[in-house]
């Protein structure tokens, strides 16, 4: 897919309310504040399409963006998911977010892949591993993206890629090689686009 335009479609407290255009969907998930909205802006080269939150953990909605190819025809939805693991959120609300995300992942017939964001300074932790196992149990394809790589020294970058690979390598071909990314300088956007293009032309 050669990218043309991006459009904010809407935010929904429930997948049932999301538009049914039959387009393939790519979900963007990870801890709150990991850089999900920034990644979307960086991928489509827009500063303010997705809102960057000053107060983490605010997004409690499925946020849909439609992307078109060069002929203007809309070809895919990017879905910005609520972040998990924000400590200051009460347990009950935390659970309801989990339910929202799980219901979406399990109900969507169009979800072609899941971009899992991991802070490159923290690396993979228990929550990410659980999410990987959950997604694979539903036969979903995962693209691990290590965010904020501009904050690392070069040697730290290759180290976190290796560590992530050591942990995720055993899951096989449904998990892509970890991509080092920075929304500040666009590093990693190309391989993510390549993975997304493969996902939307994937018939399975």
* Binding residues vs Mg ion (CB under 5 A): 36-37, 59
Instruction: Report, in Å, the least distance between residue 71 CB and ligand GTP.
Output: 30
Q: Which does 120 bind (CB under 5 to 8 A by kind): Mg ion, ligand GTP, none?
A: none
Q: Which does 164 bind (CB under 5 to 8 A by kind): ligand GTP, Mg ion, none?
A: none
Residue nearest to ligand GTP (CB): 83
Instruction: Report, in Å, the least distance between residue 147 CB and ligand GTP.
Output: 6
Burial 52-86 (b: 16+ CB within 10 A, else e): eeeebbebebbbbbbbbbeeeebbbbbbbbbbbbb
- Which residue, 94 or 163, is less far from Mg ion as judged by CB? 94
- Which residue, 147 or 164, is less far from ligand GTP as judged by CB? 147
Instruction: Burial-class residue 203 by CB neighbours within 10 Å (0-12, 13-18, 19+).
Output: exposed
- Which residue, 150 or 198, is less far from ligand GTP as judged by CB? 150
Q: Which two tokens stand for residue 97?
A: 């977010």
Instruction: Report, in Å, the least distance between residue 177 CB and Mg ion.
Output: 25
Instruction: Report, in Å, the least distance between residue 119 CB and ligand GTP.
Output: 9
- Which residue, 115 or 135, is less far from ligand GTP as judged by CB? 115
Binding site for ligand GTP (CB under 6 A): 32-38, 52-53, 56-59, 83, 147-148, 150-151, 182-184
Q: How many whole angstroms separate alpha carbon 197 and alpha carbon 204?
A: 14
Q: Which does 33 bind (CB under 5 to 8 A by kind): Mg ion, ligand GTP, none?
A: ligand GTP
Residue nearest to Mg ion (CB): 37
Instruction: Report, in Å, the least distance between residue 100 CB and Mg ion.
Output: 14
């Amino acid at each position: 897919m050669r990218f043309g335009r991006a459009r904010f479609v809407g935010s929904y407290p429930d997948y049932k309310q999301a538009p049914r255009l039959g387009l393939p969907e790519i979900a963007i998930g990870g801890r709150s504040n990991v850089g999900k909205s920034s990644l979307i802006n960086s991928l489509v080269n827009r500063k303010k399409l997705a809102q960057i939150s000053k107060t983490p953990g605010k997004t409690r909605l499925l946020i849909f963006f439609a992307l078109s190819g060069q002929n203007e025809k809309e070809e895919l939805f990017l879905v910005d998911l609520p972040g998990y693991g924000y400590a200051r959120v009460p347990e009950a609300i935390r659970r309801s977010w989990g339910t929202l995300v799980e219901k979406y992942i399990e109900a969507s017939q169009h979800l072609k892949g899941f971009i899992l964001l991991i802070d490159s300074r923290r690396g993979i932790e228990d929550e990410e591993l659980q999410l990987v196992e959950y997604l694979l149990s539903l036969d979903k394809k995962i693209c691990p993206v290590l965010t904020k790589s501009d904050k690392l020294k070069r040697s730290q970058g290759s180290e976190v890629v290796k560590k992530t690979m050591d942990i995720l390598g055993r899951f096989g071909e449904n998990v892509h090689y970890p991509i080092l990314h920075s929304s500040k300088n666009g590093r990693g956007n190309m391989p993510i686009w390549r993975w997304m293009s493969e996902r939307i032309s994937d018939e399975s």
